Chains A and B, each alone.
Chain A
Amino acid sequence: SQQGEEDPQALSIQEGENATMNCSYKTSINNLQWYRQNSGRGLVHLILIRSNEREKHSGRLRVTLDTSKKSSSLLITASRAADTASYFCATDADYGQNFVFGPGTRLSVLP
């Protein structure tokens, strides 16, 4: 089945640094979404990028999408300890009926 794969699996940075996570997927998509999950909590939607968009910003988040390479990246600028969480990309598997999630990137931001 189509699946997003995040890279790296784990990332540890200092507060104030930028964090970049990548997502690769296998087949054509309509849109791609990024989610954050704090330990022991549900997932929270961060940003959605459509297949005809190349870049999108939301606050300290920047998402890019390269459909020719079937990849996306999530950049968090000026990271904070509160950004410590797991980050997942999700791609729509068929005509918008459901999404497939990757295994996630665990980000640790050290104070």
Chain B
Amino acid sequence: NAGVTQTPKFQVLKTGQSMTLQCAQDMNHNSMYWYRQDPGMGLRLIYYSASEGTTDKGEVPNGYNVSRLNKREFSLRLESAAPSQTSVYFCASSGPLAGGYTGELFFGEGSRLTVL
């Protein structure tokens, strides 16, 4: 039972390069998320997708784009990487609670990105 799978686990980029982080979940969840985690700042939401075909900005969307390819997959793209985007990126998914609220988040193991 894989849960949430992220690739790659590690990546080093030069400033200005582009890359895509891939995320897939096998729990048939509607909602998927991309967070970044920086030391002492907890997790900050970059983008989320409440359902297939929809995406919305979170707290820190600048410099990123996302694609909800299908119900399983949600990718995060850095078009022109900057050193400020050095971080650990987490993908997560969730199913619904009764009453329409979002249930628990299931996280991937993270993608550690360094931008030189």
User: What DSSP secondary structure best describes chain B's contact surface?
Assistant: strand
Q: How many residues of A contact B (CB 8 A)?
A: 26
Interface range on chain B: under 10, 10 to 19, 20 to 34, or 35 or more? 20 to 34
Residues of A within 8 A of B59 (CB): 1, 100
Task: State the CA gap A88–B40 with chains docked (Å).
Answer: 12
Question: B102 touching A98 by the CB < 8 A rule?
Answer: yes
* Chain B contacts with A in 99-116, Cβ cutoff 8 A: 99-110
Q: Which residues of A contact B (CB under 8 A)?
A: 1, 3, 30-31, 33, 35, 40-45, 48, 88, 90, 92, 95-104
Can you list 16 residue pairs at the A/B interface with Cβ under 8 Å? A3-B42, A30-B99, A30-B101, A31-B97, A33-B104, A35-B105, A40-B110, A41-B110, A42-B109, A43-B107, A48-B103, A96-B100, A96-B101, A98-B48, A99-B45, A101-B44
Q: Which residues of B contact A (CB under 8 A)?
A: 4, 31, 33, 35, 40-45, 48, 50, 56, 58-59, 90, 92, 96-97, 99-110
